[in-house]
Structure 1
């Protein structure tokens, strides 16, 4: 017995276009409804692994915490995209964007993004710790947070020049002055 209806073919990226690395943000936006979540890295589509319940609980709690405290002029969002260029898009777990970003959009341009947050999972360690911060920094996104699990520990970075520098980290309370005054009890985002 098969899990797919007869005649249904599961979507996957076109192998030739993957080798050519010529996908663009328009290709991602045109994906069929049954396509998995993908990010685009230098024209190559990368299927994003499904998150765990704990991962999503952290994301939801952090988004809710930020949404309640974000000052006027900013908007908290989760699992929406950032277009770093025409051939590179990421979907950070949580982000703060300029409030003027249109609500019907799926992607924000990098210059409209104030903060990106990645919650690290076993399948995303390398990308969340190394690859994505380098790309976010190159795009000029001013603040990057990395949330490690087991135990929950938040690392906050600010863009200095063309790279991120650690400004605070905690498994008890994250205290920051930017992008606004923040005193985040880590227990508030722990499932």
Structure 2
């Protein structure tokens, strides 16, 4: 069901998407009993993740923070302002904080994002493998990592680089898939022991 209303969404009306979709300003102050993101003007519920997912995400954040070089900053579960109707929340982002006012911004501008990391869960496969790579590549985010858990409970990180001409991602030439250990120089040199990320 849609509605033509153009006011702010409330806890009673958020599910009735206007014909033109919600904007971030209309929904940003909602207090809903679940985590969500804005996708093409619709409020989309984010799934409850399993323990391993949160563990891997947090360990990747810690590894990136330990290895980072200036000017980069690393944050988890922060919305990215792609446009006023798309504010996805990647698992991890690496971004350039220069010229950003942390007391005022609500989402990191997509033009400041250097790397997006998504840890794939059963309910996010289509988004993490198709929709989000397309969204971030079209908006010139240079690097995208997709972290997968295989049937043997081993991690693999698929590393993608942006083709600036086609605005699409292609597998990193020398290391498209990292198993056991992730070693890359972009957006800055980092080594991550993937087996250790699951060492509960």
**TM, length-normalised to structure 1:** 0.87
**Cα RMSD for the two superposed structures:** 1.9
Show CA shifts across 1:3-56 (max 9, x none).
Answer: xxxxxxxx47634325x2511111332112x44211111111111111111100
Q: SS of the residue aligned with 2:30?
A: coil
Is the aligned partner of 1:76 residue 2:84?
Answer: no
Q: What's 1:27 paired with?
A: 26
Determine which structure has the larger helix proportion and give its number. 1
The one-character-per-residue Cα deviations of 1:119-175 (angstroms, maximum 9, x if unpaired) are: 000011111111110001111111100000132111110101310011121121222
The question of 1:40 aligning with 2:38 is answered: yes
Structure 1 residue ranges (4+ consecutive) displaced by more than 4 angstroms after TM superposition: none
Change (3 A) 1:51 1:13: farther
Report the TM-score, using the length of structure 2 for normalisation.
0.83
Counterpart of 1:3?
A: none
Ranges in structure 1 where 5+ consecutive residues have no aligned partner: 1-10
How far apart, CA to CA, are the structure 2 residues paired with 1:157 and 1:171? 15
Conserved 8 A contact 2:15-2:43:
no
Count the aligned residue pairs: 180
Does the C-alpha gap of structure 1 residues 107 and 69 become closer, same or farther in structure 2, counting only changes over 3 Å? same
Contact 2:65–2:73 (8 Å) recurs in 1 = yes
CA contact (8 A) 2:64 2:190 kept: no
